[in-house]
Amino acid sequence: MNSKNCNKTTPDTHKKGSSSSLISADIAIIGGGVVGCAVARKMALEGASVVLIEKAPDILDGASKGNSAILHTGFDAPVDSLEQKCVQNGYDEYIKIHESLNLPLLKTSALVAAWSKEEEDRFPDIFKKGVNNGVKDLCLLSRKEILNLEPSLANHIRSAILVPKEYVIDPWSAPFAYLKQALENGGQALFNAEVTKGRFDGTNWYLNTKQGEVQAGYVINCAGLYGDILDKNVLGSTQFQIKPRKGQFVVFDKAARKLLSSIILPVPTERTKGIVLFPTIFGNIVVGPTAEEQESRSNASVDKKTLTLLVEQAIEKLPALAKMPITATYAGIRPATEKKHYRVIHNHDKNWITLGGIRSTGLTGALGLACHVHDLLLQQGSDFKKLETPVTTTVPNLAEHLPRDWAREGYEEIICHCEMVTKREITAAMKGCLPAGSIDGLKRRTRATMGRCQGFYCSARLAELTKEKFTNTIGVGELDD
Ligand SMILES: Cc1cc2nc3c(=O)[nH]c(=O)nc-3n(C[C@H](O)[C@H](O)[C@H](O)COP(=O)(O)OP(=O)(O)OC[C@H]3O[C@@H](n4cnc5c(N)ncnc54)[C@H](O)[C@@H]3O)c2cc1C
């Protein structure tokens, strides 16, 4: 069995399962993307026994593995929507908890940049929406003010709206910290455990997973790109259809970081937030994402034509990028649906909540969605007893602007020289509460192989250190993901 639990004393509620159940819990959360991890944390802290079930060998195998990592204020979210509420609550919660979990925050701010008169003409609507969404600190900047802030931007910029509190975070450490806290507070996680079927007896769910049966009082479907398929396979029907939407990115070398300190947002359209130019928490500059409809839910390949267009667009806005090397390319797939909004469906009679279609803002909205799930369960009459003294431990810092492990004595050896990843970091990521379950999981926990050489120099040493510890193998020269 491949299940993880940090708390050796299994809560009593886990023991009430039928004799054939592998695990029994109050709540089963299906899917270990950022949304599932946030829900697991929230409900464990609220005193429920939780089990997170993930089909991959580690968390973040779907949409959550490739995004822009922007902590959105929600200034441009649909007014009065559930998405806007979750983004705002998720943002506030992240700001509240990030220090206690050692999660980084890069206070970049954002500029909604107008490069044409037509784009400027849309500014009044953006201001109005921002105010309606409670983001009242937006302000207009002239070309001169913009170039004072960002001297490397192309000087054909006309004006911009400053969004002071739009920030950048670590897209992988955050969900990792959420699930880790859930496990430290009695939760469990089951990997390599795709949920294929299930049955509800009016009180409990019995879920068939590839590891065995899981019994739970409530089920939260957080299956992201497969949310509709899961509803269909287990509930028998679905109310939405996932329409995968790919976003490709180009990562510029760390030398480019000095060229830009803010997130440069385009004027958004009804369909997409558009191509963004942004610093990452790891010290790069990135351009992307595109918005490409496709059939495949898993094909996150990149293509030369699109990447070339992205680089051209980036250079048009930040000309000095023309001289900067490119470190990596990657793509993420949004779990979009035939409608724009979050598809949150509470099937009251079946103790089942689906968090579907969490398309473009889920990294920010996840903690807010988790609160929403708690509210829905309260409405349904659940009476969990909130933990009085929850366990809170930190995760290792990977942000470039904060002290990294290599700066402390006793790290033994630098394994990845591009990203300065130490042997101590690799060893720690292979142990503990939520050890890496795959080489991709290890990369996301440490940044090993994600730098300039993309693993060319360190993959062999990493293979040695992780030998027979994963079920999958190391891919030399793999693209950043
Ligand atoms: C290109 C791009 C840019 C983005 N930029 C941002 C941004 O800047 N800021 C922001 O806030 N958001 C952003 N997002 C959105 C954010 O990444 C998503 O909203 C979020 O990742 C959705 O997470 P999820 O947990 O719902 O789904 P997923 O991450 O897809 O997780 C679902 C998990 O369920 C598992 N699973 C599926 N089926 C089963 C099954 N039957 N049994 C067990 N497990 C199963 C999968 O393996 C997967 O790990 C972006 C997204 C993309 C793609």
SS3 track for the chain: CCEECCCCCCCHHHHHCCCCEEEEEEEEEECCCHHHHHHHHHHHHCCCCEEEECCCCCCCCCHHHCCCCEECCCCCCCCCCHHHHHHHHHHHHHHHHCCCCCCCEECCCEEEEECCHHHHHCHHHHHHHHHHCCCCCCEEEEHHHHHHHCCCCCCCCCEEEEECCCEEECCCHHHHHHHHHHHHCCCEEECCCCEEEEEECCCCEEEEECCEEEEEEEEEECCHHHHHHHHHHHHCCCCCCECCEEEEEEEECHHHHHHCCCEEECCCCCCCCCCEEEECCCCCEEEECCCEECCCCCCCCCCHHHHHHHHHHHHHHCHHHHHCCEEEEEEEEECCECCCCCEEEEEHHHCEEEEECCCCCHHHHHHHHHHHHHHHHHHCCCCCCCCCCCCCCCCCCCCCCCCCHHHCCCCCCEEECCCCEEHHHHHHHCCCCCCCCCHHHHHHHHCCCCCCCCCCCCHHHHHHHHCCCCCCCCCCCCCCC
- CATH code where residue 263 lies: 3.30.9.10
- pLDDT of the residue at 41: 98
- The domain of 415 spans 405-466
Is residue 386 a part of any domain in this protein? Answer: no
Is residue 393 a part of any domain in this protein? Answer: no
Rounded average pLDDT over 250-267: 97
- pLDDT of the residue at 7: 53
Ligand 1: atom nearest CA of 334 is: 53
- pLDDT of the residue at 472: 43
Is residue 176 a part of any domain in this protein? Answer: yes
Question: How much is the pTM?
Answer: 0.95
Q: Are residues 220 and 286 in the same domain?
A: no
How sure is the predictor about 315, in pLDDT bands with cuts at 50, 70 and 90?
very high
Is residue 478 a part of any domain in this protein? Answer: no
Tell whether ligand 1 has an atom less than 6 A from the beta carbon of residue 63.
yes
- pLDDT of the residue at 183: 97
Cα(84) to centroid of ligand 1, in Å? Answer: 18
The number of domains in the chain is 3
| pLDDT of 471 strictly over 80 | no
Task: Tell me the pLDDT of the chain averaged across its residues.
Answer: 93
Is residue 99 a part of any domain in this protein? Answer: no
- pLDDT of the residue at 256: 98
Ligand 1: atom nearest CA of 289 is: 1
Tell whether ligand 1 has an atom less than 6 A from the beta carbon of residue 56.
yes
| pLDDT of 477 strictly over 90 | no
- pLDDT of the residue at 268: 81
Cα(282) to centroid of ligand 1, in Å? Answer: 21
Q: Are residues 149 and 193 in the same domain?
A: no
Ligand 1: atom nearest CA of 362 is: 19
Rounded average pLDDT over 427-449: 94
Tell whether ligand 1 has an atom less than 6 A from the beta carbon of residue 332.
yes
- pLDDT of the residue at 406: 95
Q: Please identify, among 334, 364, 390, the residue that sits at the C-terminal boundary of a domain.
A: 334
Is residue 324 a part of any domain in this protein? Answer: yes
Task: Convert the pLDDT of each residue in 186-203 to its tens digit.
Answer: 999 999 999 999 999 999
Cα(247) to centroid of ligand 1, in Å? Answer: 13
- pLDDT of the residue at 272: 66
Q: Are residues 281 and 325 in the same domain?
A: yes
